[in-house]
Amino acid sequence: MTEAKWSFKRLIELYDEILSHNHKTEIKRELRDEDDLFLLLCFSELLGIPNPVSYYTLELYPSILEKFHDWHLRMGMEKSPLEGIRCC
């Protein structure tokens, strides 16, 4: 540690650092776990691991359908290019 000049502000900072030390670690751990889960959900199929959430994300199908239809029209395709999605 570089020996900073002793001041009241520095003392308060040190005190805060001591007290929040543990808490910050746990928050970081929580965020890391969340991140790990997110990465797994996004990329598991790319890695050849069956994605456990696709069963639930199927529920999103109706809401994405219209957007998809607009998209393929915009792109100059009259019919849906994907077999799995049958908007028209």
Partner 1 sequence: MSSLLLAVVGISIFLLGYRYYAKFIAEKIYKIDSNFTTPAHKYKDGIDFVPTNRFVLWGHHYSSVAGAAPIVGPAIAVYWGWVPAVIWVLLGTVFAAGVHDFGALVLSVRNKGQSVGTIANKLIGHRAKILFLFIILILVLMVNAVFAWVIANLFVNFPASVLSIFIQIPLAIWIGYAVYKKSRSMLLPSIVALAFMYGAAVLASRFEFLQIDLVKWFGGEETTVMFGLNGVSMAFFVWIIVLMVYVYFASTLPVWKLLQPRDYINSHQLVLGLVILYLGVLFTNPTITAPAVNSGADISMWPLLFITIACGAISGFHGLVASGTSSKQLDKETDAKFVGYLGAVGEGMLALLAIIAVTTFFATGADFSAAYNSFAAASAGGLGNFIGGAGVLASGVGIPAYIASTIVAVIVISFAATSLDTSVRLMRYIISELGTEYKIPALTKAHVATSIAVGTSAMLVLLPEGPNGFGSGGYLLWPLFGTSNQLLAGITLLLVSIWLKKQGRNFMPTFIPMVFVLFMTVWAMGKQVIFDWSGAGTADTNILLFVFGALILGFALWIVAEAFKVLSQKQDPSDMDRIA
Q: Which residues bind partner 1 (CB under 8 A)?
A: 1, 12, 14-23, 25-30, 32
Shortest Å distance, C-beta 47 to partner 1: 22
Question: Cβ closer to partner 1: 4 or 60?
Answer: 4
10, 4 contact by CB (below 8 A):
yes
Residue with tokens 């001041």: 7
Query: Phi, psi (5° rounding) for residue 46?
Result: -60, -30
Nearer of residues 25 and 54 to partner 1, judged by Cβ: 25
Q: Which is nearer to partner 1, 31 or 82 (CB)?
A: 31
